[in-house]
Amino acid sequence: MASLWVLCFVSFGLQVLCSGTPLVLWHGMGDSCCNPLSMGSIKKMVEEKIPGIYVLSLEIGKNIAEDMENSFFLNVNKQVAQVCEQLAKDPKLQQGYNAMGFSQGGQFLRAVAQKCPSPPMFNLISIGGQHQGVYGLPHCPSVISTICDWIRKILNTAAYTKEAQEHLVQAEYWHDPLNEEEYRNNSIFLADLNQERYVNESYKKNLMSLKKFVMVKFLKDTMVMPPESEWFGFYKPGQAKDIVTLQESSVYTEDRLGLKEMDKAGQLVFLACDGDHLQFTEEWFTSNILPYLQ
């Protein structure tokens, strides 16, 4: 069932029907579940536009500071496992939910969709998510610039070492087009998620069970390299200039994730936003994203 309905009580004792499909949010790098300028604002906006909706903004850790730190340093597979357990125990989600991830939260929620089909995810909305990874980190949102400098150095020199893969989040979706074999063999998160080594049929089946997989690309993105990764595109192997679109890629032509079949069935939605990374207006959000939350 892709939509639930509950009674919402409004002023003067009137009752109105409101969409009750819960929503799960996952923030991006250097952010937290409840930042009033980002995720807190999104949560509040959705709650105002859909009265009565249950919105869970994921906190990865015991507090906001730990949540932010974990967006850099907690193994992604461990994060996904924790989230799957949390969602499975939440009584408000048992009939299903929509999911919306911001930046790296987009590919992390796709991992939830592929690995944890219960409770069911109806629509997956990826806002600036990097589904083919990144090859570059031009802007790193951290209050401590030395952290960003250290991360860039590790990514450029040792992204596929065991230590980096186990303890640096961004290394786990670092995709080096000049070293595709090393990426396939040593990426513990993205290469597995994208079925680069072998096909896990459950990943494919679970992703295809989505009603809609919505991908938002920011047309003036200066943070994600390449921005086409937000639509599942990436650099052509062996160089870092020419782009291969999703439809031209092997993950599509070989249909390792079911994306080709989903595309033909109208389950894939490609949206463009004329702004920099995660920069959009309330009007754009209302017109383009809200329909998938109803």
Active site residues: 103, 221, 277
CA distances from 38 to 33, 41, 44, 102, 122 (A): 9, 5, 10, 10, 24
Strands (E), the chain: 5-9, 15-19, 23-26, 55-57, 97-102, 121-127, 212-218, 234-235, 243-244, 268-273
In 3D space, the residue among 41, 38, 81 whose CA is nearest the CA of residue 60 turns out to be 81
Measure CA 10 to chain center: 34
**SS3 at position 145:** helix
Q: How many CA atoms, within 13 angstroms, populate the side-chain half-sphere of residue 293? A: 29
Q: At what angle do helices 201-208 and 104-115 cross, to 10 degrees?
A: 110
- Calpha distance 157→159 (Å, rounded): 6
